[in-house]
Each structure stands twice: as structure tokens, then as C-alpha cells.
Structure 1
């Protein structure tokens, strides 16, 4: 399987080189040259597979023999053997029209573990196989950092540096990252917001000489392996509903800020998974909702919300969707991204906007509505949502039509966001692993929100 850039200015690369490249060297994002197509017979044959078995089949389509199947199976088994629930991503019924896909049973209680346990093991495999040094650089709005660190901490041949916006993640998210005292881990608390952290990462990766000098590798969802790993649970959830006789009009509601999680659903649908609507749930940082409803992609005023992992204005995976929206034409994508860099705005209209609205429905959830959804779901159904999942459930309630069933993706355990849960007078008991964090010392370095300040820390660390 070859991978190409959305901007078209690199030669095709294989799966391993795509993983190592992260951000394409021309500044674009890597996508598979061809999306594998799955027949109805293949989907039926996969319906009874366990989560690891399903992951192996899907990964095999994208790895295409570049990693021997036995080695790939070990990577998959090692990655998902760390999860607390045997199903890995169990599906819970809330009521007739709503199910919740629990993605928080990994080591850090967040959906990012699904991809980052695999990517961490994959990086370890590549490092050992090639005798290479891997220096991982990533940014987090909260959950990616802890999941990435957990995926690679202590691994020989790998060092990791994670940027997070100082004071703009939940207390548990901060502690999960910064209480790790391993020599191969560096946490940088950046003055600014997540978009600042993400911009620094992308600009440092775009400096190809700097990237190559320090062997920089990506852990954020700019890395195509992250997206591929996240397609698996869309298939898994669909198969669980099919076992209950629900095989038509199955929607997915996805809390999203960076567009990676919902793009994985878009990719699964293009592969042949017969799902209905992809509902894009945002919070008050609703640039993606405005794009779907109005055709305008333009950052607005940054807002801090009860769902901080979605407090994002510039979605790093949006360019992948633009590539497919524009007929897989890299010249058009390059022109759009140049215009966005120059004008801070992308607009589509007419047939293009109608295609967007055929691909996605969207709903932005206000802060008060998010809290209200947590309270109502708990009082009426006895199920406790974290504030990000609450946005997904609110969108599902708003956008699910009669005769449809929606699966809302539950992206984090509610104990990670107790600040929000307490606002609606709900008491919860944190899992022991989370409760123990407050007694541990923290290890982080505060830096200015500039490329130069971060680069200086990287030069010392790497």
C-alpha cells in the first residue's frame, strides 16, 4: 500500500515510512493512495471477530504485507491486551435510539489509548527492527499526551516530548502526563492554547532539516496510523448492533475538535461500512459546525469550555477531508491551504457544500447544554457521561430521526473531568489509578509559546 501527500509533492511511500514521516515533507498530510474496498461478504465474515481479530484484519489491508502478519498480530495483541474490558470498546444501550460506544477502557481512561497503544508498540517494533532512534514530538489538548506517554514510556530507543497548554487541561489530564518520572519523557507546559501548541508542532515538522536532524516522529493524529487504528471501533460497534438486528440507519455521533476521530468514521464509510449519518458534535469552539452548516471554515474567538479536549479552532485533520471533497486533487488542496494561511479562511458553496452536508451533520453544544445533558442522562438512565461524550449525546438527541439508531462515541471516563461533573451535583468515585495521581510529584517545564522556546528544549532533551 502506497501513501501520498494531500499536497502531491512527495513520492509515494510505504506504510512504515508513512508512519515515520508523520507530517508529509511537503507540509501536507498522508493518505492511502487507494482506499481498500470491502465487500458485503467480507463484512459478514468479520461480524463475529473479537476486537483484536478485527483490528488485525483492518490493519492488514493498509499494511499490505510490509509487516509480516505474525508480527502484526503480536503488535495488535500486545496493544489491546492492556484494556480493562475484554471487549476493548463495549457498546452500552441507553435507550432504543441511543447507544454509547465506550472508548475509555485503556490505561489512561481515554479514547486516545485505542490508537496510541498500537502506535507506541509499532514505534518500538520499528526502532528495534531498524536499529533506529525515534524522537516523538506531540501536542495535546488533554488526552493525547497521557496516552502517548503511556504508550512509549520506558521503551528503548524512544524519547517523547509532549506540549500541553498551561492551565487549560483538566487536573487529572495534567497529572496523568506530568507525574511520569521517566528519563525518556519530557512535558512542556506552553503559554497559550492548544492551537498554539499544534501550530508549533506543525511548523517544526515542516522544517525538514530540523525534523531530520533530531529524528522527529509524530504521535498526533497527523500520523496516518492514528486514523487507521480509529477506524476499527466503527466496524466493531456496527457489528454489535447488527447482532441485535439493527443493520440499517445506524448513525455515529462523534465529539470532535481536531477532526481525526470523525475522519476515521468517514474513512470506514468509504471502505464500505454501511452507516448512516456521521454527526459532528462540537462545543462552543464550533468552527467545524459552521463549516458543515454554512460552508465557511474560519477560526473564531477561542473559548474555554467544560470539554477542554475539544477546545480547538484549527483542526489538523481537516486537510485530509478537503482532499477527498475536492476529488483527490492535490493542486486544489495546496491552493486552499495557501489561501487559508494567507487569509485565515476557506469557503465552499454550491455542489461542494451539498457534498459536505451529505457527508456530515453537525451540532454545536453550549456549555450549559453540555452540563444539562450530563444531568439528564444520569437522572433518567443512570448513566454518567463525561462532558465530551455529553456533547456527542446532545448532538445525537438533536439529529437522530425517527427510525434511526445512533451510537455516540464516549471518549473519556467521567472521572477525568470531575470539575464539570461536580457542577451538576453528581458525586462519583474515581478509579484507583486516577485517585492515586494527586499524591505524586509533578515533572514539567513551562515555556513560552514560540517555536524557538520549544526548539531550545528539544535540543537539550534529544
Structure 2
């Protein structure tokens, strides 16, 4: 399997190189040259597999012979041994909804599904090559802690995570800043998530700096994250369908950076019988507006909401979808993003907008609607939703045969839950005592030069 850039500026590379490159050197995102197809017979056979076995089958075609099958099996088993539930991503019923719980990893968020695997994958590839990796990432909440927990203490890896100061939940902040391993560096930038993400992208686009400091990515721009997240769509479908290839199922996905819903789109392109993918957003609704209008346009501001991991204007993985929507035409992708850079918007034609609406539904939820959904689900079933999950459940109202992705444990958002139902969710063991731990964090201006200087200080002049 080979990978190429959405912007067409690199020669095809293999899976291992794609993982280590993260963001393509031409500024685009890496995508497979072809998407493997799953047959009805495979779907029937896979339906009886546990999560780890299923992950091995889904990932193998994208990796090819670059990692021996038994090594890949070992990486997968080690990655999901850290999860507290034997099913890894169990499917439950609550308030008349099917809920796919993705929060049983060490940081109680869906990002663990990908980042526990990616941390082990990095370690494996670096041990094989003898190389070093300095991870730089931006987080709107959960990615940072999941990435840190995926690589903390690992040899050959340093990790630098940027988060917007005061714009993540207290527990999310403490999960990151209380990890004191020597290879972990937390940075609070005085700005928004989009500011932090823009800084990270600029560092990766500075090719001499990226090369000199061996930069790598853990944000959902890294293809391995998309691949790992696609597995739970197959898993949920199998639990509902029993392996019947004729049974179609929809998914409602709380969406900020478009990575999670793109993983579902990948599964659908592979042949998983998905009826609809619902793009569920909060007040920062650039993606919902795109699905409805065909226009992707930046709004006036990034709004702070009760679902902070979705407080995003520029969704990184949207470029991957646009590449496939434009039939793999890299020149059109480049032109679209040049227009976006100059005018703050891009627009697709009527035929392609029809395709967007065939691929996705979309809905947004205000903070008031989010709170009401938490209240309604709790009063009807005693089940507590986190505010992000509540956005997804709200967006799925009236739909049949839909699975709602639960992206975080409700205890991570105690204030929102308390406001909705007057009590807090019981904390899982991974969160207990967190607020009493010692912390370490550096505060910086939200500029590329400030972050560059911090990396130079930490790593030396060219490593």
C-alpha cells in the first residue's frame, strides 16, 4: 500500500514513512493511493471477532508487509490491554439510543483508541530504524492527554502539546499537565485552538525546521489515527447486524476536526454498510453549514461552548474528504485551499454538493440544547452523557438504526453535567485524585516564533 498527498507534491511512500511524516511535506494530508474493499463474506466472518482481532483484519490491508502480521498483532494487543472494558468499545442502550462507548481508555476519551496504538507504533518503528521523534501537537481537549499517555516515558520520543489557555476543561488540563515524565512538555498558548493548530501546521510546513528537529504528528492529520478509529465502526456494525451484509446502519458523530467522522467515511468507502454519517457540531458549525450549503466558510470567531473539544473553525481532516470529493484531483484541492487562504471560504459546485448530502447529514446543537439532551437522557434512563456525546444524540433525533458515538466520559465535564442534572458522574479510576496532583506547564504567546524558541531551548540547536 502506498500513500500520497492530497496536494500531489510528493512521491508515493509506504505506510511506515506516512506514519513518521505525519503532515505531507507539501502541506497536504496523506491518503492511501487506493482504498481496500471489504467483501460481504469478509463482513460475515469479521462479525464474530473481538475488537483486537477485528483491528488486525481492518488495518492489515493498509499496512501490507511493512509490519509482520504477528508484530502487528502484538502492537494491537498491547495497545488495548490498557482499556478498562473487555470489549474496548462496548455498545450499550440508553434512553432509546444505541451508544458506542469510546471512553474506556486511560484518559477516558475516544482519542485513546487511536493514540494508544500510535504510541506503540511510533516506538516500534523508531526501535527498528534507530531514529528519534519529537512529537508536536495541538489539542482542543482530549487529544493532548491521550497523546501524552500514549508516549509518556517511551524511549526516542519527546512530546510537545499545545492547548489554548483557559479553553479546555479543568480535568482535561490537569490530565495533561500532571504528567511529569521527562519526555512530556505541555504548552498553554494565549489564544484559541485554531491558533494552536495553525502554529503546529506552520512548524510542519517549515521543512528545514521539521527535518532538523525530527518533528512528528499525533493530531488526526496522522493517517494511523484515522485507520485505528475506523475499526470501531466495523465493531459497532457487527454488534448490531450480526454480520448481515444487507443490514445498513447510521452513525451520529460529534465533530470538531472531522477526523472521527472521516474514519467512518473511510469505513463506508471500504464497503461497510453505512446508511448515513451525521456530522454533529456545536455553535462552531462550519461543517454543518458546509453540508447544508456546499460553502465552507470561516465564521467571525471561535465560540467557547460546553463541548470544548469541538470549538474549532478549521477542521484539519476536511481536506482528506475534499480530496475524495474532487475525485483525487490534487490541483483542485490546492486551488480550493488557496481560495480558502485568500478569502476565508471555498465552495463546491451543485453536483458535488449533492454528493456531500448523499454522504452526510448534519445538525448543530446550542449549549441549551446540549444541556436539555443530557437532562432528557438522564431522566429517561439514568444514563449520563458528556456534552459532546449529547450533541451527537441531539443530532440523531428522529433517526432509525443509528449509533451515537460517546466520545468522552461524562466525569470529564463535571460542570456541564452538574448544570444539566444537578449532580456529577462518578469518576472512573483514571480520573480519581487528578486535581490534587502536581503539574508542570509553560505559558507562551500564540505565535510560531514563541513555540519555535521553546522547542530550540528544550531540544538544543538542531538535534
Normalized against structure 1, the TM-score is what? 0.97
* CA gap 1:95/1:405 in 2 versus in 1, 3 angstroms: farther
Which whole-Å CA distance do the structure 2 matches of 1:247 and 1:280 have between them?
A: 24
* CA gap 1:95/1:371 in 2 versus in 1, 3 angstroms: closer
Q: Secondary structure at the match of 1:110?
A: coil
Partner of 2:203: 204
Partner of 1:459: 456
1:244 Cα deviation from its structure 2 partner: 9.2
Partner of 1:45: 45
Say whether 1:143 aligns with 2:139: no
**In structure 1, which of residues 408, 426, 444 is the aligned counterpart of residue 404 of structure 2?**
408
Superposed counterparts of 1:39-438, under 5 Å: 39-94=39-94, 98-243=97-242, 248-300=247-299, 301-398=301-398, 400=399, 404-424=400-420, 425-438=422-435
Q: Secondary structure at the match of 1:346?
A: strand
Q: Secondary structure at the match of 1:188?
A: strand
Could you give the per-residue CA deviations for residues 320-344 of structure 1, whole angstroms, max 9, x where no partner exists?
0000111111111011011111111
Which whole-Å CA distance do the structure 2 matches of 1:94 and 1:240 have between them?
A: 16
Q: Is the 8 A contact 1:235 1:268 kept in 2?
A: yes
Which whole-Å CA distance do the structure 2 matches of 1:410 and 1:95 have between them?
A: 14
Partner of 2:443: 446
Could you give the per-residue CA deviations for residues 353-404 of structure 1, whole angstroms, max 9, x where no partner exists?
1010000000010110000000000001111100000000000115x1xxx2
Q: Secondary structure at the match of 1:28?
A: coil
Q: Is the 8 A contact 1:164 1:190 kept in 2?
A: yes
Which whole-Å CA distance do the structure 2 matches of 1:245 and 1:305 have between them?
A: 40
Q: Is the 8 A contact 2:44 2:245 kept in 1?
A: no
Q: Is the 8 A contact 2:278 2:362 kept in 1?
A: yes
Could you give the per-residue CA deviations for residues 221-270 of structure 1, whole angstroms, max 9, x where no partner exists?
00000100000000000000013979634100000010000000000000
Which whole-Å CA distance do the structure 1 matches of 2:129 and 2:430 have between them?
A: 35
Counting matched residue pairs gives 457
1:459 Cα deviation from its structure 2 partner: 0.8
1:83 Cα deviation from its structure 2 partner: 0.4
Q: Secondary structure at the match of 1:277?
A: strand
Q: Secondary structure at the match of 1:174?
A: helix
Q: Is the 8 A contact 1:392 1:409 kept in 2?
A: yes
Which whole-Å CA distance do the structure 2 matches of 1:19 and 1:149 have between them?
A: 17
Q: Secondary structure at the match of 2:11?
A: coil
1:427 Cα deviation from its structure 2 partner: 3.1
Which whole-Å CA distance do the structure 1 matches of 2:95 and 2:265 have between them?
A: 25
1:295 Cα deviation from its structure 2 partner: 1.1
Q: Please, which runs of 5 or more residues in structure 1 have no aligned partner?
A: none
Could you give the per-residue CA deviations for residues 278-301 of structure 1, whole angstroms, max 9, x where no partner exists?
000000000000000011111112
Q: Please, which runs of 5 or more residues in structure 2 have no aligned partner?
A: none
Which whole-Å CA distance do the structure 2 matches of 1:331 and 1:109 have between them?
A: 40
* CA gap 1:361/1:341 in 2 versus in 1, 3 angstroms: same
